Structure 1
Amino acid sequence: MVRRAMTLLTSAVLLVGLTVAALAIPVPYVVASPGLALNTLGEIDGEQVIRIEGQPVYEHDGALSMVTVQYSGGPDSRMNLFTTLSAWLSPTQAVLPEEAIFPPNTSAEEVSQTQAAQMDNSQDAAVAAAFNELGIDYETTATVHAVNEGYPAEGVLQSGDVIVEVDGKPVADKNEVVAAVKDRSPGDTVRFLIERDGQREEVEVGTVASDSGDPIVGITVEDTMVFPFEVQISVGRVGGPSAGMMFALGVMDRLDPEGLTGGHRIAGTGTIDPEGNVGGVSGVQQKMISAKREGAEYFLVAAESCDQTFDSPVTGQIEVVKVETLKDAVAALENIREGNLDDLPRC
């Protein structure tokens, strides 16, 4: 009997030990939790989130808050199975495959750099979209973003070059550059008038056929906006493109004598392009929790993200308004100000 009891006790200890060891094993998952909610009309570290110079600005009551998701884990700091299971059981967290946030063979530092670039681009797009909505004119330039190795442009064009003309014809944006190059035939030479370090020069670049047969020179071109006055947006170390819509609304509110919120607390998430199109994002359920904790009454979300709003722990506790464009968001805020809640488009 004593031997049998010792055997059972030893087995139990081994089982507990193996279970504890298994729970401590790092696993390739990422946990998404509610993150920061930041009022774009307010301050961060004692400075306005949106600072405008060279134009009259206004301050109003209410809030237009961007909301974020906080991610834990990743290839450089994997969580253990116990923590992951606990998050899976939590109503406020979500467990995602690691590759959903960190593509294969990508370090956490590389992801952070990509998100920082996305944040910068989203801010420029937000200012452009706000200016378009307000009828404020600005200029665009076509700028070389990257030169692909092994293509004709390598060693001739550089990142940061502003393309002024293609084959003697002025170009104002990347679409015009692409169209001008595609107007040639593979093997042709294209003349670019570029501006580099404040100096203009003309260069010639050959073309080769792309996979689709179109002529290309091997560059990536992006639009750079030149605004008539300075708009700076500072949000600390937050990255990614999902605050674009709220940035655009924040810029509009600072430039509008009447304001957009009517004193209401609004939060939201969605990307934006210079034309004002609002795009879907991930992590909406966690962002809704952040918005509710911040005291938001209304939550603006891209129409294509509506399906993420149905199962949030705060569903039914905050009014969810779907938008497809910045114009839709502005119209929704007008209805909120005037109390026309029946006219709000909901998910």
Structure 2
Amino acid sequence: MVRRAMTLIVAAVLLVGLTVAALAVPVPYVVASPGLALNTLGELDGEEVIQVEGRPVYEHDGALSMVTVQYAGGPDSRMNLFTALSAWVSPSQAVLPEEAIFPPDTSAEEVSQTQAAQMDRSQDAAVAAALGELGIDYETAAVIHTVSEDHPAHGLLSPGDVVVEVDGEPVADKDEVVAAVKDRTPGDPVRFLVERDGEKQEVEVATVGSENGDPVVGVTVETDMTFPFEVEISVGRVGGPSAGMMFALGIMDRLDPEGLTGGHRIAGTGTIDPEGNVGGVSGVPQKMVSAEREGAEYFLVAEESCDQTFESAVTGRIEVVRVATLHEAVEALEAIREGDTDALPRC
């Protein structure tokens, strides 16, 4: 009997030890948690989040808050199984495969750099969308960003070239250049009029077929935007494109004598493009929690992300409003200001 008891005790100790050891093993998962909620109409570290120079600006009550997700884990700091399991049962956290945030063969530093670049582009797009919604003109130009070494454009076109015309037709942005090149058969030449170092020159480049059969010359083009006044957005180390819509609304509020919120506290998430289209984002459940903790009354979400929302995040007092464009977001805010919320589009 003593030997049997000792055997059971040893087995139990080993089982506990193995369980503890298993829970301490690093696992390739990432935990998403509610992150920062930042009022774009307010300040961060004593500095206005949105600063405008060269144009009259206004201050209003209320809030237009961007909301974020914070991530724990990753290839450089993997969490253990116990932490992952604890997050799995948490109502405000989500456990994701590591590759969902950190693509294979990509370091945490590279991911951070990508997110910083996305943030910069989203801010430019937000300014463009806000000015477009307000009817304020700005200038655009199609600028060559990269040139592929194994395509016909190599040695003929260079990064930084401003494309002025394609086959004699003026072009002003990336989309117009892409459309002009695609309107031909692979093998046909394309005549580019470019501005380089302050001088214009014409360059003829042959086309080749891409993997999907479209004609290409081997360049990437970006739209460079020049605004009639300066807009600076400061959000610290936050990265990614998902605050674009809220940046655009914040800029509009600063430029509008009447303001957009009517004193209400609004939060939201969604990307923006220069035309004002609002795109879907990830991490919406965690962002809803951040919004409610911030005291938001309404949560604007991209129509594409409606399937991520839920009825009650923390207090159940937040109303979710879906939008597909910046114009729809502005209309929703107008309805909220006027107290006419019955017809608000909801997820």
Aligned to 2:75: 75
Q: Secondary structure at the match of 1:113?
A: helix
**Contact 2:37–2:66 (CA under 8 A) maintained in structure 1:** yes
Q: Pick closer, same or farther for the CA change 1:304–1:314 going to 2, 3 Å.
A: farther
**Contact 2:292–2:313 (CA under 8 A) maintained in structure 1:** no
What code does the residue aligned with 1:156 have? L
Q: Does 1:178 align with 2:164?
A: no
Deviation string, structure 1 residues 287-312 (Cα, Å, up to 9, x no partner): 01111111111111111211211265
**Contact 2:312–2:318 (CA under 8 A) maintained in structure 1:** no
Q: Does 1:9 align with 2:2?
A: no
Q: Does 1:140 align with 2:140?
A: yes
Deviation at 1:160, TM superposition (A): 2.9
Deviation at 1:167, TM superposition (A): 3.1
Moved over 4 A (4+): none
Q: Secondary structure at the match of 1:195?
A: strand
Q: Pick closer, same or farther for the CA change 1:247–1:54 going to 2, 3 Å.
A: same
Q: Secondary structure at the match of 2:337?
A: helix
Report the TM-score, using the length of structure 1 for normalisation. 0.95
Q: Does 1:153 align with 2:135?
A: no
Aligned to 2:213: 213
What code does the residue aligned with 1:71 have? Y
**Superposed CA RMSD:** 1.7
How far, CA to CA, are the matches of 2:8 and 2:230 in structure 1?
75
Aligned to 1:244: 244
How far, CA to CA, are the matches of 1:12 and 1:105 in structure 2?
41
Q: Pick closer, same or farther for the CA change 1:203–1:315 going to 2, 3 Å.
A: farther
What code does the residue aligned with 2:231 have? V
Deviation at 1:145, TM superposition (A): 2.3
1:1-347 matched pairs, under 5 angstroms: 1-310=1-310, 313-314=313-314, 316-347=316-347
How far, CA to CA, are the matches of 2:76 and 2:109 in structure 1?
9
Unaligned stretches of 5+ residues in structure 2: none
Deviation string, structure 1 residues 214-239 (Cα, Å, up to 9, x no partner): 32111111212111111111111111
What code does the residue aligned with 1:170 have? P
What code does the residue aligned with 2:323 have? V
How far, CA to CA, are the matches of 1:23 and 1:319 in structure 2?
39
Deviation at 1:186, TM superposition (A): 2.7
What code does the residue aligned with 1:86 have? S
What code does the residue aligned with 1:246 have? M
How far, CA to CA, are the matches of 2:108 and 2:159 in structure 1?
25
How far, CA to CA, are the matches of 1:126 and 1:315 in structure 2?
31
What code does the residue aligned with 2:27 have? V
**Contact 1:38–1:65 (CA under 8 A) maintained in structure 2:** yes
How far, CA to CA, are the matches of 2:293 and 2:299 in structure 1?
12
Deviation at 1:96, TM superposition (A): 1.0
Deviation string, structure 1 residues 244-286 (Cα, Å, up to 9, x no partner): 1100100000000010011111100011111111111111110
**Contact 1:285–1:312 (CA under 8 A) maintained in structure 2:** no
Deviation string, structure 1 residues 7-47 (Cα, Å, up to 9, x no partner): 22221121111111111111111100000001101111221
Q: Secondary structure at the match of 1:342?
A: coil
Q: Secondary structure at the match of 2:288?
A: helix
**Contact 1:286–1:312 (CA under 8 A) maintained in structure 2:** no
Unaligned stretches of 5+ residues in structure 1: none
Deviation string, structure 1 residues 119-141 (Cα, Å, up to 9, x no partner): 11111111111111100011111
Deviation at 1:88, TM superposition (A): 0.4
Deviation at 1:332, TM superposition (A): 0.9
Deviation string, structure 1 residues 146-200 (Cα, Å, up to 9, x no partner): 2223112233333332212223332111122122223344334333232344444
What code does the residue aligned with 1:317 have? R
Report the TM-score, using the length of structure 2 for normalisation. 0.95
Number of aligned pairs?
Answer: 347
Tell me the percent identity.
82
Q: Secondary structure at the match of 1:263?
A: coil
**Contact 1:32–1:93 (CA under 8 A) maintained in structure 2:** yes
How far, CA to CA, are the matches of 1:214 and 1:321 in structure 2?
39
Q: Secondary structure at the match of 2:34?
A: strand
Q: Secondary structure at the match of 1:247?
A: helix
